Every structure is written in C-alpha cells, then in structure tokens.
Structure 1
Amino acid sequence: MTEVYFYHLERRRLDDALPTLLERSLERGWRATVQAASEERVEALSTLLWTYSEESFLPHGTARDGQPDMHPVFLTTSEDNPNGAHVRFLVDGAELGDASPYARVVFIFDGSDTDAVARARAEWQAAKASGYTVSYWQQDETGRWQQKA
C-alpha cells in the first residue's frame, strides 16, 4: 500500500530540505522522481542537486538528458514514472493522479503560502479517501522533521 507523506516547510526552504530527503531515499535503495510545476523549476532543481553541497552531489537527470532509466533521481513536470521510481516527490503545487505505482508519495509545501497549504489539505483529504496511508510531518524549532499526524 502506498504511503503518502506531507512535509510542511516552516523553518527551511525547499532548496534546503529536498536534497536531504532525496539522499535518504537513495540510502534506502529507492529510485526517486521529483515532479515540479514548470520546466524552469526543473532546471533550477537540477542546478541545485549539482551544487547544494561542496562535498557531494545527487546523481540525477531530466528529459533533456535522455535515458531516464539510467538516473536514480529524475526531475520532471509530467506524471509518468520514467525511471521506475519507488518514491515520488511533488513540489510547487505539482499534482499526481495515481499514487499506486509508488511505495511513497511525498508532497512538500511551503507553510507560509496559504494557497500551498490549502492544496495540501485537499490532497490529504483525497489521499485518505483513496485509502492510502497518510502522515503529516512538520519542522520543529531546529528544522528537524517531526511526525504530527
């Protein structure tokens, strides 16, 4: 059964949180797909994953790179699963029609954006109504994730 996680950004930005969440997914042996709302955002995330740390980078690709099955992390605007991902991250209000192909779907949303919070609430209700296991994660004072529901 697919798990649907909701990560509520309050103390850190997406650019700070996403690389860590992707690293953890890869450590589990999972392939990941990140779905953004625009091609411009996909390119910005691609640059981020090459440069977020001086010590490392996250191997990834986009449609421009081709051969999606060769990339453990794939960045896209579409709903398909081109790299056979186990986990799908949805950012910037990206929507997913069918969560069932994934072990986990992760919605990451900005808590200071009222529209993003409203979309997350609607997605929560839809996921629960579809019978998925859902959980809500919020950042504590230090920026660490705490499961709240």
Structure 2
Amino acid sequence: MQVDFYHLTQAPLDRVLPQIAEKVLAGGARLLIVADDAALRKRVDQLLWTYAPASFLPHGMAGEAWDADQPILIAADVQGANAARHIALIDGLWRDEALTFDRAFHFFDEDSIGAARVAWRTLGERDGIDRRYWRQDENGRWAQVA
C-alpha cells in the first residue's frame, strides 16, 4: 500500500488534483475522490469538467446515476461504488479506511499540516505502508522529500 502526502504550498488543489486524476486514468485505474465538505465536492465536480480547454475527466458525484460506471467518483466518504483502487483525500483529513486501497493521495495545506504530521507518524508505525512526502519547489515542480 502506498500513501502519497501532497503538501500544497505553491499550487492549489485545483491545479494538482486534475494532474493526478489524469495519471490514474492513463494507467487504466479508477479513482475515488473524498471530501466531507459538500461545497468542496461541488467545486471539484465543476473543476474536472473545466480545468483545461482540451481536457475532460469523466466523473460523477456519488449518489447519482451510474456510480459503478464512473472512472472517477466524488464522494463524502470512503465507501465508493466505482471499484476504485486509488483514493484521493482532498480535504486535509486522513481516513484509515483509505488503507484498503492500493494507493492513497493525501492532500493537505498549511491549515491541516498538524493533522498530516500525525497521520505521517502513525502510518510510519504500521507494516506494509510505503509513505512518500511530496512538496513543490519554488519553480512549481514536485519533489519527493521523504
């Protein structure tokens, strides 16, 4: 199980999440995007339709038609119905249920850095978890720093 911690310092979630989602889909996998906040879920729904003029990320909101068919499903909890093996936790909150997936992306900013540090330490005490910490440099490039 791999957990990628993404510290959002230079670029906001709106620029980073679509890139991760594109890579997941390009690899033939599905993605579950989780946020407790309904307004954030709605914003991400709109983002995935409009983030780039030449791009489109097929997705749906959990609880609407065809959840099981969605390559990307946006939900309030980890109980995704799209059989995803990748999960993106986008609201800064770690959820242990994410450990049932093959890969988790945990996005956090300065407001949620304390909780991310606790999750990092806690996951480090468990066997079978490959943790990676990503941070952007001053040029906007992502670098793995741990």
Which among 131, 139, 142 is matched to residue 139 of structure 2? 142
Retained in 1: the 8 A contact 2:91–2:108? yes
**Matched-pair identity in %:** 34
Retained in 2: the 8 A contact 1:37–1:91? no
* Alignment RMSD: 1.3
User: 1:17 — aligned with what?
Assistant: 16
The one-letter amino acid paired with 1:143 is G
User: 2:6 — aligned with what?
Assistant: 7
Deviation string 1:40-68 (CA, Å, 9 cap, x unpaired) is 21111100100101111210001242221
Alignment of 1:36-51 (within 5 A): 36-51=35-50
User: 2:96 — aligned with what?
Assistant: 97
Q: TM-score, normalised by structure 2?
A: 0.93
Gaps of 5+ in 1: none
Matches of 2:29 and 2:139, distance apart in 1: 27
Over 4 Å off, 4+ runs:
none
User: 2:52 — aligned with what?
Assistant: 53
Q: TM-score, normalised by structure 1?
A: 0.91
Retained in 2: the 8 A contact 1:79–1:97? no
Gaps of 5+ in 2: none
Alignment of 1:62-141 (within 5 A): 62-110=61-109, 112-113=110-111, 116-131=112-127, 132-141=129-138
* Secondary structure class of the residue paired with 1:80: coil
The one-letter amino acid paired with 1:146 is A
* Secondary structure class of the residue paired with 1:29: coil
Establish whether residue 29 from structure 1 lines up as the match of residue 25 from structure 2: no
Number of residue-to-residue matches in the alignment: 145
Retained in 1: the 8 A contact 2:18–2:51? yes
The one-letter amino acid paired with 1:21 is I
Matches of 2:81 and 2:94, distance apart in 1: 16
Retained in 2: the 8 A contact 1:11–1:141? yes
Matches of 1:63 and 1:88, distance apart in 2: 14
